[in-house]
Structure 1
Protein backbone atom coordinates (compact mmCIF):
# COMPACT_ATOMS: atom_id res chain seq x y z
CA UNK A 1 0.00 0.00 0.00
CA UNK A 2 1.41 3.34 -1.01
CA UNK A 3 2.38 5.62 1.84
CA UNK A 4 0.87 9.05 1.91
CA UNK A 5 3.48 11.79 1.48
CA UNK A 6 4.29 13.70 4.62
CA UNK A 7 3.72 17.41 4.54
CA UNK A 8 6.06 19.58 6.59
CA UNK A 9 4.56 21.15 9.68
CA UNK A 10 3.52 24.76 9.10
CA UNK A 11 6.11 27.29 10.20
CA UNK A 12 4.78 29.26 13.19
CA UNK A 13 4.29 32.96 12.57
CA UNK A 14 6.93 35.25 14.08
CA UNK A 15 6.33 36.53 17.59
CA UNK A 16 5.95 40.29 17.13
CA UNK A 17 6.01 43.43 19.31
CA UNK A 18 2.19 43.35 19.13
CA UNK A 19 2.21 39.83 20.57
CA UNK A 20 4.48 41.01 23.38
CA UNK A 21 2.06 43.78 24.28
CA UNK A 22 -0.63 41.11 24.53
CA UNK A 23 1.60 39.21 26.98
CA UNK A 24 1.83 42.32 29.15
CA UNK A 25 -1.93 42.77 29.03
CA UNK A 26 -2.66 39.12 29.81
CA UNK A 27 -0.85 39.43 33.12
CA UNK A 28 -2.72 42.65 33.95
CA UNK A 29 -6.17 41.20 33.23
CA UNK A 30 -6.51 39.70 36.72
CA UNK A 31 -6.44 43.17 38.28
CA UNK A 32 -7.84 45.41 35.53
CA UNK A 33 -9.99 43.38 33.08
CA UNK A 34 -11.90 46.43 31.79
CA UNK A 35 -8.74 48.41 31.03
CA UNK A 36 -7.24 45.35 29.37
CA UNK A 37 -10.35 44.85 27.23
CA UNK A 38 -10.21 48.49 26.11
CA UNK A 39 -6.51 48.16 25.25
CA UNK A 40 -7.08 44.86 23.45
CA UNK A 41 -9.82 46.41 21.31
CA UNK A 42 -7.50 49.35 20.57
CA UNK A 43 -5.01 46.81 19.24
CA UNK A 44 -7.72 45.07 17.23
CA UNK A 45 -7.26 41.59 18.73
CA UNK A 46 -9.53 39.07 20.41
CA UNK A 47 -9.30 37.48 23.84
CA UNK A 48 -8.34 34.23 22.15
CA UNK A 49 -5.45 35.92 20.35
CA UNK A 50 -4.28 37.42 23.63
CA UNK A 51 -4.36 34.01 25.32
CA UNK A 52 -2.52 32.42 22.40
CA UNK A 53 0.21 35.08 22.48
CA UNK A 54 0.69 34.44 26.19
CA UNK A 55 0.80 30.66 25.61
CA UNK A 56 3.48 31.03 22.95
CA UNK A 57 5.51 33.38 25.15
CA UNK A 58 5.41 30.98 28.09
CA UNK A 59 6.51 28.16 25.77
CA UNK A 60 9.50 30.24 24.64
CA UNK A 61 10.44 31.14 28.21
CA UNK A 62 10.25 27.54 29.42
CA UNK A 63 11.79 25.81 26.43
CA UNK A 64 15.08 24.09 27.34
CA UNK A 65 16.34 24.96 23.84
CA UNK A 66 15.11 28.54 24.03
CA UNK A 67 17.19 31.66 23.79
CA UNK A 68 18.38 33.51 26.86
CA UNK A 69 16.21 36.37 28.07
CA UNK A 70 18.16 39.14 26.32
CA UNK A 71 18.33 37.27 23.00
CA UNK A 72 14.60 36.51 23.27
CA UNK A 73 13.71 40.17 23.75
CA UNK A 74 15.96 41.22 20.88
CA UNK A 75 14.37 38.64 18.58
CA UNK A 76 10.86 39.84 19.46
CA UNK A 77 11.34 43.58 19.95
CA UNK A 78 14.35 44.26 17.73
CA UNK A 79 17.34 46.35 18.72
CA UNK A 80 16.78 48.34 21.93
CA UNK A 81 15.92 52.00 21.55
CA UNK A 82 18.49 52.93 24.18
CA UNK A 83 21.19 51.49 26.41
CA UNK A 84 21.68 53.19 29.76
CA UNK A 85 24.32 52.67 32.43
CA UNK A 86 22.64 52.32 35.80
CA UNK A 87 24.09 51.94 39.27
CA UNK A 88 22.27 49.37 41.43
CA UNK A 89 23.86 49.40 44.87
CA UNK A 90 27.50 48.52 44.26
CA UNK A 91 26.79 47.09 40.79
CA UNK A 92 27.37 48.98 37.54
CA UNK A 93 24.57 47.61 35.34
CA UNK A 94 23.26 48.22 31.84
CA UNK A 95 19.59 48.80 31.07
CA UNK A 96 18.12 48.06 27.65
CA UNK A 97 14.98 50.04 26.77
CA UNK A 98 12.28 49.34 24.19
CA UNK A 99 9.19 51.47 23.33
CA UNK A 100 5.72 50.09 24.07
CA UNK A 101 3.11 51.71 21.76
CA UNK A 102 0.23 51.08 24.19
CA UNK A 103 1.99 53.30 26.74
CA UNK A 104 3.96 55.94 24.78
CA UNK A 105 5.30 57.51 27.99
CA UNK A 106 6.79 54.22 29.18
CA UNK A 107 9.62 51.94 28.12
CA UNK A 108 10.15 48.23 28.70
CA UNK A 109 13.41 47.86 30.61
CA UNK A 110 15.62 44.80 30.83
CA UNK A 111 18.24 45.38 33.50
CA UNK A 112 21.44 43.37 33.05
CA UNK A 113 23.98 42.37 35.67
CA UNK A 114 27.60 43.47 35.10
CA UNK A 115 28.97 41.71 32.05
CA UNK A 116 25.48 41.20 30.62
CA UNK A 117 25.38 37.52 31.54
CA UNK A 118 22.24 37.65 33.68
CA UNK A 119 18.98 39.62 33.77
CA UNK A 120 18.25 41.31 37.09
CA UNK A 121 14.84 42.73 36.25
CA UNK A 122 12.27 43.11 33.46
CA UNK A 123 9.54 45.72 33.79
CA UNK A 124 8.00 48.99 32.60
CA UNK A 125 9.60 52.31 33.55
CA UNK A 126 8.95 55.94 32.65
CA UNK A 127 10.62 56.89 29.37
CA UNK A 128 13.76 59.00 29.84
CA UNK A 129 12.77 62.66 29.65
CA UNK A 130 9.02 61.96 29.85
CA UNK A 131 7.05 63.75 32.54
CA UNK A 132 5.72 61.43 35.23
CA UNK A 133 2.47 61.87 37.15
CA UNK A 134 2.11 64.28 40.06
CA UNK A 135 1.56 62.02 43.05
CA UNK A 136 0.52 63.94 46.17
CA UNK A 137 -2.26 61.82 47.71
CA UNK A 138 -3.52 58.27 47.39
CA UNK A 139 -6.29 59.56 45.11
CA UNK A 140 -3.65 60.33 42.49
CA UNK A 141 -2.77 56.63 42.21
CA UNK A 142 -5.05 55.56 39.37
CA UNK A 143 -4.49 52.19 37.68
CA UNK A 144 -1.75 52.30 35.03
CA UNK A 145 -0.81 55.84 36.07
CA UNK A 146 2.57 55.19 37.68
CA UNK A 147 5.47 52.78 37.95
CA UNK A 148 6.92 51.09 41.03
CA UNK A 149 9.80 53.56 41.14
CA UNK A 150 7.52 56.60 40.85
CA UNK A 151 5.24 55.54 43.70
CA UNK A 152 8.20 54.62 45.88
CA UNK A 153 9.84 58.02 45.33
CA UNK A 154 6.58 59.93 45.86
CA UNK A 155 5.80 58.29 49.21
CA UNK A 156 9.01 57.32 51.02
CA UNK A 157 9.93 55.21 52.77
CA UNK A 158 8.38 52.40 50.74
CA UNK A 159 9.07 48.68 50.95
CA UNK A 160 9.12 46.50 47.84
CA UNK A 161 7.48 43.13 48.53
CA UNK A 162 7.26 39.89 46.61
CA UNK A 163 4.17 39.62 44.42
CA UNK A 164 1.71 36.78 44.01
CA UNK A 165 3.29 35.55 40.75
CA UNK A 166 6.23 36.21 38.44
CA UNK A 167 6.22 39.73 36.91
CA UNK A 168 4.20 40.99 39.90
CA UNK A 169 5.36 43.14 42.79
CA UNK A 170 3.76 44.78 45.80
CA UNK A 171 4.79 48.07 47.42
CA UNK A 172 4.01 48.96 51.03
CA UNK A 173 3.90 52.72 51.67
CA UNK A 174 2.12 55.51 53.52
CA UNK A 175 0.30 58.31 51.72
CA UNK A 176 -2.13 61.10 52.70
CA UNK A 177 -5.77 60.75 51.71
CA UNK A 178 -7.88 63.62 50.34
CA UNK A 179 -8.19 65.05 53.87
CA UNK A 180 -4.43 64.93 54.43
CA UNK A 181 -4.59 61.97 56.84
CA UNK A 182 -1.57 59.70 56.47
CA UNK A 183 -2.54 56.04 56.06
CA UNK A 184 -0.81 52.78 55.15
CA UNK A 185 -1.44 51.19 51.75
CA UNK A 186 -0.22 48.39 49.55
CA UNK A 187 0.08 48.85 45.79
CA UNK A 188 -0.06 45.95 43.34
CA UNK A 189 2.09 46.19 40.21
CA UNK A 190 2.29 43.98 37.14
CA UNK A 191 5.35 44.31 34.89
CA UNK A 192 6.18 47.33 37.05
CA UNK A 193 2.95 49.24 36.28
CA UNK A 194 0.46 50.15 39.02
CA UNK A 195 -2.73 48.03 38.96
CA UNK A 196 -4.48 48.90 42.20
CA UNK A 197 -3.96 50.31 45.69
CA UNK A 198 -5.65 48.88 48.79
CA UNK A 199 -5.47 49.81 52.47
CA UNK A 200 -2.81 47.84 54.35
CA UNK A 201 -4.24 45.03 56.42
Structure 2
Protein backbone atom coordinates (compact mmCIF):
# COMPACT_ATOMS: atom_id res chain seq x y z
CA UNK A 1 0.00 0.00 0.00
CA UNK A 2 1.54 3.34 -0.99
CA UNK A 3 2.38 5.67 1.86
CA UNK A 4 0.26 8.75 2.32
CA UNK A 5 1.67 12.00 0.99
CA UNK A 6 3.12 13.99 3.89
CA UNK A 7 1.09 17.06 4.78
CA UNK A 8 2.33 20.35 3.38
CA UNK A 9 1.07 23.70 2.23
CA UNK A 10 -1.70 23.33 -0.36
CA UNK A 11 -0.86 24.18 -3.95
CA UNK A 12 -2.30 27.50 -5.03
CA UNK A 13 -1.06 30.82 -6.40
CA UNK A 14 2.69 31.25 -6.17
CA UNK A 15 3.16 33.68 -3.28
CA UNK A 16 5.91 35.93 -1.88
CA UNK A 17 6.51 33.21 0.73
CA UNK A 18 7.02 30.65 -2.04
CA UNK A 19 9.51 32.97 -3.70
CA UNK A 20 11.48 33.30 -0.47
CA UNK A 21 11.63 29.51 -0.35
CA UNK A 22 13.12 29.57 -3.85
CA UNK A 23 15.82 31.94 -2.62
CA UNK A 24 16.52 29.64 0.32
CA UNK A 25 16.62 26.50 -1.81
CA UNK A 26 19.50 27.88 -3.85
CA UNK A 27 21.34 28.89 -0.66
CA UNK A 28 20.90 25.50 1.02
CA UNK A 29 23.82 24.07 -0.96
CA UNK A 30 26.23 26.35 0.91
CA UNK A 31 24.55 27.06 4.26
CA UNK A 32 22.04 24.33 5.18
CA UNK A 33 21.99 25.30 8.87
CA UNK A 34 21.12 28.93 8.14
CA UNK A 35 18.46 27.82 5.68
CA UNK A 36 16.96 25.38 8.22
CA UNK A 37 16.77 28.20 10.78
CA UNK A 38 15.12 30.48 8.22
CA UNK A 39 12.58 27.79 7.35
CA UNK A 40 11.66 27.44 11.01
CA UNK A 41 11.22 31.22 11.21
CA UNK A 42 8.85 31.05 8.24
CA UNK A 43 7.05 27.99 9.63
CA UNK A 44 7.62 25.80 6.57
CA UNK A 45 9.11 22.37 5.99
CA UNK A 46 11.91 21.23 3.74
CA UNK A 47 9.21 19.60 1.60
CA UNK A 48 7.51 22.98 1.19
CA UNK A 49 10.81 24.50 0.11
CA UNK A 50 11.49 21.79 -2.45
CA UNK A 51 7.95 21.99 -3.81
CA UNK A 52 8.16 25.78 -4.19
CA UNK A 53 11.43 25.44 -6.08
CA UNK A 54 9.92 22.73 -8.30
CA UNK A 55 6.99 25.00 -9.17
CA UNK A 56 9.37 27.91 -9.83
CA UNK A 57 11.46 25.83 -12.21
CA UNK A 58 8.30 24.71 -14.01
CA UNK A 59 7.31 28.37 -14.51
CA UNK A 60 10.71 29.17 -15.97
CA UNK A 61 10.65 26.19 -18.33
CA UNK A 62 7.11 26.48 -19.63
CA UNK A 63 6.97 26.68 -23.46
CA UNK A 64 5.49 30.19 -23.28
CA UNK A 65 6.99 31.73 -20.13
CA UNK A 66 5.75 35.05 -18.85
CA UNK A 67 8.22 37.94 -19.16
CA UNK A 68 10.42 38.01 -16.07
CA UNK A 69 9.38 41.49 -14.89
CA UNK A 70 5.71 40.59 -15.29
CA UNK A 71 6.27 37.31 -13.43
CA UNK A 72 7.79 39.11 -10.45
CA UNK A 73 4.95 41.64 -10.34
CA UNK A 74 2.37 38.83 -10.39
CA UNK A 75 4.11 37.07 -7.48
CA UNK A 76 5.41 39.95 -5.36
CA UNK A 77 2.89 42.65 -6.23
CA UNK A 78 3.76 46.19 -7.15
CA UNK A 79 7.36 47.15 -6.32
CA UNK A 80 8.05 49.13 -3.18
CA UNK A 81 10.13 51.45 -5.35
CA UNK A 82 11.05 51.96 -9.00
CA UNK A 83 14.34 53.77 -9.50
CA UNK A 84 15.62 55.08 -12.82
CA UNK A 85 19.26 54.20 -13.31
CA UNK A 86 21.80 54.81 -16.04
CA UNK A 87 24.56 52.25 -16.51
CA UNK A 88 26.89 53.40 -19.25
CA UNK A 89 24.60 54.33 -22.14
CA UNK A 90 21.80 52.06 -20.90
CA UNK A 91 18.76 53.62 -19.29
CA UNK A 92 17.05 51.10 -17.05
CA UNK A 93 14.76 50.76 -14.06
CA UNK A 94 15.50 49.07 -10.74
CA UNK A 95 12.36 47.49 -9.28
CA UNK A 96 12.63 46.65 -5.59
CA UNK A 97 10.51 44.54 -3.24
CA UNK A 98 10.82 43.92 0.52
CA UNK A 99 11.81 40.44 1.71
CA UNK A 100 10.33 39.18 4.99
CA UNK A 101 13.37 37.10 5.94
CA UNK A 102 15.81 39.98 5.53
CA UNK A 103 14.10 43.27 6.52
CA UNK A 104 17.26 45.26 5.68
CA UNK A 105 17.41 43.88 2.14
CA UNK A 106 15.34 44.32 -1.00
CA UNK A 107 14.96 42.03 -3.99
CA UNK A 108 16.02 44.09 -6.98
CA UNK A 109 15.20 43.41 -10.62
CA UNK A 110 16.98 45.49 -13.26
CA UNK A 111 14.82 46.03 -16.33
CA UNK A 112 16.09 47.39 -19.66
CA UNK A 113 13.92 49.72 -21.81
CA UNK A 114 12.76 46.78 -23.96
CA UNK A 115 11.48 44.97 -20.87
CA UNK A 116 14.37 42.52 -20.67
CA UNK A 117 15.47 41.64 -17.14
CA UNK A 118 19.24 41.47 -16.97
CA UNK A 119 19.86 41.20 -13.24
CA UNK A 120 17.95 39.79 -10.26
CA UNK A 121 19.44 39.83 -6.77
CA UNK A 122 19.29 41.07 -3.19
CA UNK A 123 20.55 44.56 -2.33
CA UNK A 124 20.64 46.64 0.85
CA UNK A 125 17.52 48.72 1.51
CA UNK A 126 18.20 52.46 1.08
CA UNK A 127 17.44 53.32 4.72
CA UNK A 128 19.28 50.32 6.19
CA UNK A 129 22.76 50.53 7.66
CA UNK A 130 25.35 48.76 5.56
CA UNK A 131 27.65 46.30 7.36
CA UNK A 132 31.17 47.35 8.26
CA UNK A 133 33.51 45.19 6.23
CA UNK A 134 37.19 45.55 7.08
CA UNK A 135 38.72 42.08 7.41
CA UNK A 136 38.06 38.46 6.47
CA UNK A 137 36.36 37.96 9.84
CA UNK A 138 33.58 40.33 8.72
CA UNK A 139 32.75 38.20 5.68
CA UNK A 140 30.35 35.77 7.31
CA UNK A 141 27.52 34.01 5.43
CA UNK A 142 24.59 36.30 4.63
CA UNK A 143 26.46 39.32 6.02
CA UNK A 144 26.67 41.40 2.84
CA UNK A 145 25.68 41.81 -0.78
CA UNK A 146 27.82 41.73 -3.91
CA UNK A 147 27.97 45.54 -4.16
CA UNK A 148 28.94 45.93 -0.50
CA UNK A 149 31.81 43.44 -0.72
CA UNK A 150 33.03 44.95 -3.99
CA UNK A 151 33.12 48.45 -2.48
CA UNK A 152 34.74 47.36 0.79
CA UNK A 153 37.54 45.41 -0.86
CA UNK A 154 38.10 47.34 -4.07
CA UNK A 155 39.34 46.65 -6.60
CA UNK A 156 37.26 43.47 -6.83
CA UNK A 157 36.98 41.46 -10.01
CA UNK A 158 33.70 39.75 -10.92
CA UNK A 159 33.70 36.04 -11.68
CA UNK A 160 31.17 34.03 -13.64
CA UNK A 161 28.89 32.11 -11.32
CA UNK A 162 28.38 28.36 -11.42
CA UNK A 163 24.63 28.82 -11.93
CA UNK A 164 22.34 31.66 -13.13
CA UNK A 165 21.58 32.77 -9.55
CA UNK A 166 25.22 32.66 -8.44
CA UNK A 167 27.92 35.29 -8.66
CA UNK A 168 31.55 35.49 -7.65
CA UNK A 169 34.09 38.15 -6.71
CA UNK A 170 37.85 37.88 -6.31
CA UNK A 171 39.73 40.42 -4.20
CA UNK A 172 42.29 40.76 -1.42
CA UNK A 173 41.30 41.30 2.21
CA UNK A 174 43.32 41.46 5.44
CA UNK A 175 43.16 38.59 7.91
CA UNK A 176 43.23 39.00 11.71
CA UNK A 177 46.97 39.71 11.59
CA UNK A 178 46.63 42.32 8.87
CA UNK A 179 48.09 40.07 6.17
CA UNK A 180 46.30 40.56 2.88
CA UNK A 181 44.91 37.34 1.44
CA UNK A 182 43.59 36.46 -1.99
CA UNK A 183 39.89 35.65 -1.67
CA UNK A 184 37.09 34.28 -3.79
CA UNK A 185 33.64 35.14 -2.46
CA UNK A 186 30.57 33.25 -3.63
CA UNK A 187 27.11 34.80 -3.65
CA UNK A 188 23.66 33.37 -4.31
CA UNK A 189 20.91 35.79 -5.38
CA UNK A 190 23.41 38.54 -4.50
CA UNK A 191 23.91 37.48 -0.85
CA UNK A 192 27.28 36.25 0.44
CA UNK A 193 27.43 32.49 1.01
CA UNK A 194 31.09 31.66 1.59
CA UNK A 195 34.66 32.90 1.10
CA UNK A 196 37.61 30.77 0.01
CA UNK A 197 41.04 32.10 0.98
CA UNK A 198 44.36 31.29 -0.66
CA UNK A 199 47.92 32.45 -0.10
How does the TM-score come out when normalised to structure 1? 0.92
User: What is the CA–CA distance in structure 2 between the aligned matches of 1:177 and 1:29, rounded to whole Å?
Assistant: 27
Residue 12 of structure 1 and its aligned partner are, at CA, apart by 4.9
Q: Does 1:150 align with 2:148?
A: yes
SS at match of 1:135: coil
Higher radius of gyration, 1 or 2: 1
SS at match of 2:29: coil
User: What is the CA–CA distance in structure 2 between the aligned matches of 1:66 and 1:132, rounded to whole Å?
Assistant: 36
Equivalent of 1:188 in 178, 186, 189 = 186
Partner residue, 1:101: 100
Q: Does 1:121 align with 2:119?
A: yes
Equivalent of 2:157 in 153, 156, 159 = 159
Q: CA RMSD in A?
A: 1.3
Residue 31 of structure 1 and its aligned partner are, at CA, apart by 0.2
Alignment of 1:26-175 (within 5 A): 26-113=25-112, 115-175=113-173
User: What is the CA–CA distance in structure 2 between the aligned matches of 1:67 and 1:87, rounded to whole Å?
Assistant: 26
Unaligned runs of at least 5 residues, structure 1: 1-10
Aligned residues: 190
SS at match of 1:102: coil
Deviations 1:27-75 (A, max 9, x none): 0000000000000011111111100000000100111222110110001
Q: Does 1:178 align with 2:176?
A: yes
SS at match of 1:133: coil
Deviations 1:56-106 (A, max 9, x none): 001001112221101100010000000011222221211000000100000
SS at match of 1:13: coil
SS at match of 2:100: coil
Partner residue, 2:7: none
User: What is the CA–CA distance in structure 2 between the aligned matches of 1:172 and 1:199, rounded to whole Å?
Assistant: 10
User: What is the CA–CA distance in structure 2 between the aligned matches of 1:88 and 1:48, rounded to whole Å?
Assistant: 40
Q: Which runs of 4+ in 1 moved over 6 A?
A: none
How does the TM-score come out when normalised to structure 2? 0.93
User: What is the CA–CA distance in structure 1 between the aligned matches of 2:84 and 2:108, rounded to whole Å?
Assistant: 12
Deviations 1:120-176 (A, max 9, x none): 100000011211100011110110010000000000100111111110011101011
User: What is the CA–CA distance in structure 2 between the aligned matches of 1:12 and 1:175, rounded to whole Å?
Assistant: 46
